[in-house]
Structure 1
Amino acid sequence: MPPGLRRCCRPPTRGFRWRHLRTRSLCAALRHMERLNICSRKTLRHRHTPLISEESPVENAIGIIGVGSMGGALLGRWRAANIHVVAYDVTQAGRERASAHGVAVAANPAELAAQVDAVAVMVRTDAETLDAVLGDDGALAGLADGGLLLLHSTIAPSTTTQIVAAAQSRRIDVVDAPVVGVPAVVEAGRAVAIVGGSQQAFDRAAPLLKPCFRDAIHMGPTGAGNAAKIIKNLCTAAEALVLAEALRIGESWGIDYLDALAMMTTVDQYHFIDHWSTAFDANGYGSAPLRVPNLYDKDVPLARNIAHAAGISVPITEALADSAQQIVAATE
């Protein structure tokens, strides 16, 4: 077996683990191993590094900017791990939430950053993130050279790269680590962090991610965590939007939407994400979907046709039918 590869994608351990997604070199190694009948590609989709050891260095203190429901949940996890926390929030409710945890509240992000080794930002928008970090009283104004920034918000990769550019001359490590999970899941320590940044920054951030997340997946360089979270949310939203349009088609043919939903939860549902190797190439050659018999060339066009027959507008189905036609044409 080539050096650095494991036979199983999941180590036989529980708790926090950190991952690196496969690279082209890993794909090449897998193809070589399959030719030698050493192992199956399905068992090596991810390469794992070992669990963080108890001896891993942890920053002495962390500041959290944004103490809403999500930021408050992160704050609680760090407090439970006996990590010193300083907080800041623009709202009175956020400041009171921090105080309820027994945490000192700073007057602004710069004052907060001056008291800690690492700063986590959990605000809602790109503009709020830039203001919290790069504003006149932003975190960079107070954070010491060589500090650490963790950007937990779902923001554009370009926002993260802008912050990295501003921090680089001062040797401040930056990771984008958006969170997958609602506040209750974060509070229970079951959320996942999807991380972008250098290997050095990821390794340094890992001990601070460990108390908060059951898993941290290193997707690649700066901005990769942002992009990964965005495409994950795109798929989540797309499922709801497609379902809504499908229910409208059903209603146009006299099917009550509640009956349609009950039917869909009763029949044997097939989710491509659970069986992705049947829909996408598992060899690493490209992300174009494979042709699935009947689904793209017959069933999706049928959905568009019965919508047309009922006289309703279905823009998502129209786009899906066009895409399906392109897939069929490309695979004939």
Structure 2
Amino acid sequence: MTTRIGYIGLGNMGAPMALRLLDHIGSLSVLDTNPDAVTPFIEAGARPVSNAAELASVSDIVCVTVLDDAQVRDVVAGPDGLLSTAKPGTVIAVHSTISDTTALDLETQCASHGVEFVDAPVSGGAAGAKKAALAVMVGASDEAFEKIREPFRAFAALVVHAGPVGAGTRMKLARNLLHFVSFTAATEAQRLAEAAGIDITELGKVVRHTDSITGGAGSIMWRDNTSALEPDDSWFPIFSHVRALGEKDLALAMALGDRLDVDLPLATRALAGLGPGLGVGIGDIARTHSMEEQP
């Protein structure tokens, strides 16, 4: 039997994801509070429904991409929510970035109806969805993951089973922590460059170009834990080299900031934390800098 799929939330992210699903499976039931968002799906052959309860009654898997925790709770467990009609064995997959505690709470509510809850936030933005290039981080039981893995490939190039319910959200939060901390670091680098008379639009071109080659921060994320490395570990010389280069360049940037009177708090923190974070301990440059900072 063909798996019946429903989609709630046809906004900037949900619409391209749902379109990919419709193209992939040839049928889809859809729901959005904005009638204009539904129209192109009807024209493409999708089935519109009036509320979440109706959607659940005609779906084996329901994908949810709404704004926040409150909206997720409402469409899943509200008066006319999915659980009011979902049959046992139905999978409810939430792509919204919510709290992991919300995911666990909804898992419990869904389990009381024999329904599988899946937290499946995505990374890659609307552009990634349009290209079917998203990464999906899935928190689910093994059984539920097997049900959703193939349909998710309609809009994703990478589908990762992060662990049980809640794990997908925790992975997304860690990923976005890196994302927005790096944005903050980018603003710090722009302030330094601007103070030094550098065209920051040209700097942006350089950053995007080189990150597309090196992989940016992801290029160091190969280890399976964050504990300190033993000297005979194969990663030790590699990350020691990274530490040496990083400490040298951070110290030079901080010296430039001192001369230009530009405060660089993230650079200061990075100099102290780079080596320990890599698992190879603090390096000579960072150690010397720390001693110089002490009164």
Q: Secondary structure at the match of 1:69?
A: coil
Structure 1 residue aligned with 2:254, among 304, 328, 331? 304
Distance 1:271 1:300, change over 3 A: farther
Give the % identical residues.
Answer: 27
Distance 1:64 1:254, change over 3 A: same
Does residue 136 (structure 1) correspond to residue 86 (structure 2)? The answer is no
Task: Specify every segment of 5 or more residues in structure 1 that has no aligned partner in the other structure, as ranges.
Answer: 1-56
Counterpart amino acid of residue 51 in structure 2: N
Give the 5 Å matches for 1:83-232: 83-232=26-175
CA distance in structure 1 between the partners assigned to 2:50 and 2:273 by the alignment: 52
Structure 2 residue aligned with 1:276, among 220, 223, 247? 220
CA-CA distance at 1:186 after TM superposition: 2.3
Distance 1:270 1:87, change over 3 A: closer
Question: How does the TM-score come out when normalised to structure 2?
Answer: 0.78
Question: How does the TM-score come out when normalised to structure 1?
Answer: 0.70
Once the two structures are superposed, residues 92-133 of structure 1 have per-residue CA deviations (whole angstroms, 9 ceiling, x without a partner) of 332334333332322221121122222110112222211211
Q: How many residues align?
A: 271
From the two aligned structures, give the one with the greater helix fraction: 2
Once the two structures are superposed, residues 56-92 of structure 1 have per-residue CA deviations (whole angstroms, 9 ceiling, x without a partner) of x752x11111011322223222222345321111223
Distance 1:273 1:256, change over 3 A: closer
Report if aligned partners of 1:58, 1:207 keep a CA contact under 8 Å in 2: no
CA distance in structure 2 between the partners assigned to 1:97 and 1:217 by the alignment: 30
Does residue 240 (structure 1) correspond to residue 208 (structure 2)? The answer is no
Counterpart amino acid of residue 128 in structure 2: V
User: What's 2:244 paired with?
Assistant: 294
Once the two structures are superposed, residues 127-186 of structure 1 have per-residue CA deviations (whole angstroms, 9 ceiling, x without a partner) of 221121122221112212221111112222222111101111222112222223333432
Distance 1:168 1:264, change over 3 A: closer
When the two chains are superposed, the root-mean-square deviation of aligned CA atoms in Å is: 3.0
Q: Which protein has greater RCO, CA pairs closer than 8 Å, 6+ apart?
A: 1
Distance 1:97 1:156, change over 3 A: farther
Distance 1:160 1:83, change over 3 A: farther
User: What's 1:42 paired with?
Assistant: none
Q: Secondary structure at the match of 2:28?
A: strand
Distance 1:242 1:166, change over 3 A: same
Once the two structures are superposed, residues 294-329 of structure 1 have per-residue CA deviations (whole angstroms, 9 ceiling, x without a partner) of 345443244334323322333333432342476599
Structure 2 residue aligned with 1:65, among 8, 18, 26? 8
More divergent stretch after superposition (259-268 vs 155-164): 259-268
CA distance in structure 1 between the partners assigned to 2:255 and 2:155 by the alignment: 49
CA distance in structure 2 between the partners assigned to 1:208 and 1:107 by the alignment: 24
Structure 1 residue aligned with 2:200, among 253, 257, 266? 257
CA distance in structure 1 between the partners assigned to 2:85 and 2:210 by the alignment: 57
CA-CA distance at 1:256 after TM superposition: 2.5
User: What's 2:21 paired with?
Assistant: 78
Report if aligned partners of 1:88, 1:112 keep a CA contact under 8 Å in 2: yes
Counterpart amino acid of residue 139 in structure 2: G
